[in-house]
């Protein structure tokens, strides 16, 4: 089997009293020579978690990978 792309979907539901808020994101990446699917999935998961934290208004370490044009 040849894996060419890897994707992740990540979301969080947070409750504050009677208010519930959900934020989520879906990311996908094409594998480059030398990449492994597991490494790319792990990196996408990290980026997705950081972006969801940012959507909730938390301060997170800046990662420039999401700013790369596609």
By residue range, what is the domain housing residue 26? Answer: 5-60
Q: Give the E-state strand segments of the chain in sequence order.
A: 5-16, 19-30
pLDDT in the model for residue 1? 87
| 31 within some domain | yes
Tokens standing for residue 48 = 């997705």
| 70 within some domain | no
| 23 within some domain | yes
Residue-by-residue pLDDT tens, the chain, 70 positions: 889 999 999 999 999 889 999 999 999 999 999 999 999 999 999 999 999 999 999 998 765 666 655 4
pLDDT in the model for residue 68? 58
Confirm if 24 and 49 have CB atoms less than 8 A apart.
no
Q: What's the pTM?
A: 0.80
Confirm if 48 and 27 have CB atoms less than 8 A apart.
yes
How many domains does the structure of the chain reveal?
Answer: 1
| 13 within some domain | yes
């Amino acid at each position: 089997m040849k894996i060419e792309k890897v994707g992740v979907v990540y979301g969080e539901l947070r409750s504050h009293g009677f208010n519930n808020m959900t934020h989520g994101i879906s990311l996908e990446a094409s594998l480059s020579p030398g990449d492994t699917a597991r490494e790319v999935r792990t990196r996408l998961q990290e980026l997705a978690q950081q972006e969801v934290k940012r959507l909730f208004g938390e301060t997170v370490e800046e990662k420039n990978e999401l700013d790369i044009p596609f």
